[in-house]
Structure 1
């Protein structure tokens, strides 16, 4: 994408913007911090027809090349990581979302949840691309 690495990093590392680019997000609100390391967010999302809430904290912040946030609730831990690189006048994003499930969900996740997460990942990448191109 032909936007500066700083612009892309600033937009995506502000996790409140998941409202615009994450298809599962209903709302994300910053609860503490200045946007950097240790900033916390409350996220409400819909997945597989159910609403869920996660408390996120920024655990990696190295402007403009790396951002990571970890979200937790009683059934899952989600870690979103983004690495940003320059390729001439273009910015490339490597986005990864890792999920660790707890309790009974851990047993059914490989069969039921993982295929849905894979589809959501593809949709998320497309939404990021479209959102950044339209900004």
Structure 2
């Protein structure tokens, strides 16, 4: 199961990549994140993060690892716990007026959750993806004015 969005921000590509590839910044741009902390690494490939998020009224913890890092074009991080794996991938390209972001979040569920998720989670993930895009835009544009 996945959600994806493509959108443009007026922020230069290097600033966008550096900000979004520092996964601790999910504290600011991901509406579901309660807290993300870097646990090891320098921010590049193999960097790990601990993440606490809230989704559908439940708090979950995921251990994330940076699995794709090609500055300034691509970033990907995979988070896992005993019931799910979430992979966030972002591709960045310059436009005449800023940066286009292709955002994709893939979810794999294990156990009973893999049967229930398609029935329960789909629409909520779509709404969360829209909210995430709005928050990314607001955060990046707010950084340019401060």
Same fold (TM over 0.5): yes
| 1:8 aligns with one of 11, 16, 19 | 16
d(CA) in 1 for partners of 2:101, 2:129: 14
> Which blocks of at least 5 consecutive residues in structure 1 are unaligned?
none
The count of residues paired between Structure 1 and Structure 2 equals 135
Unaligned runs of 5+ residues in structure 2 are 1-8
Q: Which of residues 30, 35, 42 in structure 2 aligns to 1:34? A: 42
* Structure 1 consecutive aligned stretches of length 4 or more whose deviation exceeds 6 Å: none
- Per the alignment, residue 20 of structure 1 pairs with 28
Q: 1:2 offset after TM fit, Å?
A: 2.0
TM-score of the pair, normalised by structure 1: 0.98
Shift in Å at residue 75 of structure 1?
0.6
Q: Which has the higher contact order (CA 8 A, sep 6+)?
A: 2
TM-score, normalising length from structure 2? 0.91
Deviations 1:4-47 (A, max 9, x none): 10110000000000000000000000000000000000000000
Distance 1:49 1:113 in 2: 12
Q: What does residue 78 of structure 1 align with?
A: 86
- In the TM superposition, 1:54-93 aligns within 5 A as 54-93=62-101
State the 1:114 CA deviation. 1.4
Alpha-carbon distance in structure 1 between the residues aligned to 2:59 and 2:141 = 29
Per the TM alignment, residue 64 of structure 1 is displaced from its structure 2 partner at its CA by: 0.2
The RMSD of aligned alpha carbons is 0.6
Counterpart of 1:52 in 2: which secondary structure? Answer: strand
